[in-house]
Structure 1
Amino acid sequence: MVELLTGEARDVRRAAVADLGDALRDLVDACVRTEVPDGELADVAATARELATRLRASGRGLTGVASCDDPAAGERWYSPVYGPGSPVAPPLAVDSAGPDGVTAHVTLGKAHEGPPGLVHGGTTATLLDHVLARAVRVAGSGGLTATLTVTYRRPVRLGVPLLLTAHVIGTEGRRTTARGTVAAADEPGTVLAEAEGLFVALRPETAAATFAGVDHAVQAWTAR
């Protein structure tokens, strides 16, 4: 079991993880844009495999929690949505989070392209799912996504700073509903996509079964 870090040790680890994540996101961007010759691609692939071998010298399994995470608070440093250490995360940055809702910003690049020049619809849905869940959490509820309905109003373009907002509209027992939107940051009044999601907090026994094998307690998705 990986020991969770705290205090200064966690801060130092998080800084190193974020630095590698930033470098890898730059590499991913270069990878999906490159038109270098085939021989150069082969050389870079060999180097990438060597680096992967170095990183695998010490690792964790599929249910392992990273040493720099805070699973009780739901902080995942390798989240594919906002994780500073994830090479596939945009990453999304939360500007504010409180009882009135959540606001966040992100700019998506070529790695998240669907139709040429446009953000993949699945990526838009993923971002909305996250800000909705974040709004539910800061409002005092936990939960996993039960349903997510996304309406795409207009194309979401690559390279455009985006503003995401979300807020809770109702809670009944373990069930919480939230709504959110995506807009261009310079045109916040024009909704590009919107979503409504239902989140259900897990009972203790359900949480134990759902997270069986996870090496640290997780509370952010359970009933409060």
Structure 2
Amino acid sequence: MPEVEDGMCFACGEKNPISLRLKFEEIDENKVRAEFIPGENHQGYNGIIHGGLTATLLDEAMAHVIGFKGIKAFTAELNIRYRTAIEIGETLEIIGEYKRSKKSSIASIHYAQAEIFDQKGNLKAKAEAKFIEA
């Protein structure tokens, strides 16, 4: 499924000079994957990635897996579990997974989850979210 062109997206935009340049690929029908290496300009505490940026990585993975399914939706609720600090310079694997959907009287709601792992396969952070179809 081709993605919607949004060159100025903070997380994945090619035209945005401060973009994270995330490139997600489908790894099965309901999963996407990307890699990211945080640099010094992504830190909160010295040597540790800013927690808000971790949230961005997780949210973007879930948005992409929903987008790859051809659904246009926005984040309505985001719950994050930070497991351990993410160090600057470590290669991260970000996985987004589509879980399910349900229709309410107002809109269709889509559920997804995302996880961030280090190169050794250690879980660094995990999120679950609800997306409302636009």
Indicate the percent of aligned positions where both proteins have the same amino acid: 26
Aligned-residue CA RMSD (Å): 1.6
Number of the residue aligned with 1:75? 5
Q: What does residue range 1-224 of structure 1 map to in structure 2 within 5 Å?
A: 73-96=3-26, 98-173=28-103, 174-184=108-118, 186-188=119-121, 190-202=122-134
Q: CA offsets per residue over residues 152-191 of structure 1, 9 Å max, x none?
A: 000011111110001111111210000110011x212x11
8 Å CA contact 1:94, 1:102 repeated in 2: yes
Q: Secondary structure at the match of 1:147?
A: strand
2:17 and 2:31 map into 1 onto residues whose CA distance is 28
Q: Secondary structure at the match of 2:63?
A: helix
Q: How many residues align?
A: 129
Larger relative contact order (CA 8 Å, sep ≥ 6): 2
Which protein shows a greater Rg?
Answer: 1
2:85 maps to amino acid: P
1:170 maps to amino acid: R
**Runs of at least 5 residues in structure 2 that lack an aligned partner in the other structure:** none
Which has the larger helix fraction? Answer: 1
8 Å CA contact 1:95, 1:105 repeated in 2: no
8 Å CA contact 1:118, 1:158 repeated in 2: yes
1:76 and 1:112 map into 2 onto residues whose CA distance is 22
8 Å CA contact 1:167, 1:180 repeated in 2: yes
Which has the larger strand fraction? Answer: 2
2:38 and 2:17 map into 1 onto residues whose CA distance is 13
2:110 and 2:55 map into 1 onto residues whose CA distance is 18
2:5 and 2:27 map into 1 onto residues whose CA distance is 14
2:22 and 2:97 map into 1 onto residues whose CA distance is 17
Q: Secondary structure at the match of 2:46?
A: coil
2:53 maps to amino acid: T
Deviation at 1:97, TM superposition (A): 5.3
Deviation at 1:93, TM superposition (A): 2.1
1:132 and 1:179 map into 2 onto residues whose CA distance is 6
1:131 and 1:120 map into 2 onto residues whose CA distance is 17
